Amino acid sequence: MQFLRTVALNTIVVTLAGALAWPQTPPAAAPPLVLAGGTVVDVTAWGQSAHDLEDAVVIVREGRVAEVGPAVSTPIPKGARIIDCKGKYLIPGLVDGFAGMNSQAQANANLYMGVTTVVASTDALRGPADLAANPTPHLYLIDSIGTTDNWSLLARRPEWASQLHEGPRPAELTPEETARQMTDTARLGTRVLYLGANITAANTQWIVAHAHKMGLVTYGAFAATPYKVGIEAGVDALLHMSRYPLGAIPNELQRPLVTDPTGTAALTAYDYSERIPPTDAHLRAYAKLIASHHAALMPTFSLFYTELPGHRNLWKEPAAHLADPAHMDQPSNPATGELDYPLPAWTHRLPSTGQRWMEESLRKKAEQRALRLWHVNQTLFAAFPHYLAASGAGSRGSMPGISLHTELELLVRMGLSPREALAAGTNNYALEFGWNELGLIAAGRRADILVLDADPTANVWNARRINTLVVDGNLVDREGLLRLRR
């Protein structure tokens, strides 16, 4: 019996070995997805080209665009899943170049609004980026560099906890520590380095040069570093409409910022920068400097949307019910859509009419400041720099997904054409940063595609009229994104 059992066992082993050795049939590839009959909107050349492709066929395989061409010369593969796009317009998925995304709800809101890539900031205003969200936009991480920062992506690692602790105020790291920080954060997948207020000029020059050697993008929100130095060093983007006007201040206001980049000297400098008249020679020279160099402007106008004229209550957007005010910094009032301006405790002793007067006074001052900054930015725009769209969500009333569309609207209000604004939220990121995986509906690009019911080059607000959402080549149930329970 033992002999028979041994023979039987050997037979089974030989049979299994033969089966495993036999060439296995690979799993059948998923059928291609075809978007047929729509108009592919041209967002190349910074939005200055207008060679739209009408009656187009877009073939998607394995998450990438495989082929794009006119219907008359582009055969549709057999067995393809075909989406009829006749009468519709196709644009690439939108990129939000600076925002928080700290929850599944915010991920869903971004996707619902067609934002398929977010440069996600982990910071004190927006909280930690949610890297476990599913479904999610593509997240490109941003990290601070060259400075102590409690919110750095490395701050909770034992080997970095002591060096990155801010203490009373941030301090610069040594060149050796900065080099190691750059290497370590790149290993985490960081794509963008944020150079903040306390980074001084020599360190800015070193960081930008070494970041580019490593293929990392640099954002500048300088104070201690003169903007001229950062721009000439080759920084990739200048962040915030309220920050980069510092580049036009006189030297006597810039010098104190080396030792006081966030204190009273900074307050004086910012106050001066937002009051510069449009005819100021320094401001016009600064605008020409930006336009003649590599740096693009990333104004995050949406951080001031509620203080600029013509704003709406963003809480009325369908995706807004996904937003949780508890996970936002300074959310607008859901009932009014306006920012609230909390009063000091002592004012509670005043009659209600006095409190309302003080609140209205604070609101008017904020609106006046926003308009002053807007006028400064109009002078910068007149030199025709390159722009990148970013919302700054969720701070100061800006909201995930929704506020990228207000950003496009404000870029048009500033003077860009709708097509140029669309380019600022799509292919400009490929041109400026070399992120050639996104930004176009073209062979080899990632298949993040919005099918729109109306022409966004006629009115940029039509970019909200999303009929079909494709992410990584997959159709996404857009209405299903709204059913998430917070």
What's the chain look like in SS3? CHHHHHHHHHHHHHHHHHHHHCCCCCCCCCCCEEEEEEEECCCCHHHCCCCCEEEEEEEEECCEEEEEEECCCCCCCCCCEEEECCCCEEEECEEEEEECCCCHHHHHHHHHCCEEEEEEECECCCECCCCCCCCCCEEEEEEECCECCCCCCCCCCCCCHHHHCCCCCCCECCHHHHHHHHHHHHHCCEEEEEECCCCCHHHHHHHHHHHHHCCCEEEECCCCCCHHHHHHHCCCEEECCCCHHHHHCCHHHHHHHHCCCCCHHHHHHHHHHHCCCCCCHHHHHHHHHHHCCCCEEECCHHHHHHHCCCCCCHHHCHHHHHCCHHHCECCCCCCCCCCCCCCCHHHHHCCHHHHHHHHHHHHHHHHHHHHHHHHHHHHHHCCCCCECCCCCCCECCCCCCHHHHHHHHHHHHHCCCHHHHHHHCCCHHHHHHCCCCCCCCCCCCECCEEEECCCCCCCHHHHHCEEEEEECCEEECHHHHCCCCC
**Which pLDDT score, from 0 to 100, does residue 14 have?**
39
Quote the CATH superfamily of domain 93-434. Answer: Metal-dependent hydrolases (3.20.20.140)
Segment 232-282, tens digit of pLDDT = 999 999 999 999 999 999 999 999 999 999 999 999 999 999 999 989 999
Indicate if the pLDDT at residue 16 is higher than 50.
Answer: no
Which pLDDT does position 6 carry in this prediction? 42
Average pLDDT over residues 417-439: 98
Place of tokens 């073939």: 59
Rounded Cα gap, residues 21 and 145, in angstroms: 52
Judged against a pLDDT cut of 50, whether residue 23 lies above it is answered with yes
| Domain ranges for the chain | 93-434
Residue 475: other Cβ atoms inside 10 A? 14
Of 35-39, 162-166, 234-238, minimum mean pLDDT range: 162-166
pLDDT (tens digit per residue) in 323-350: 989 889 999 999 999 999 888 878 778 7
Q: Which pLDDT tens digit goes with each residue over 51-83?
A: 999 999 999 999 999 999 999 999 999 999 999
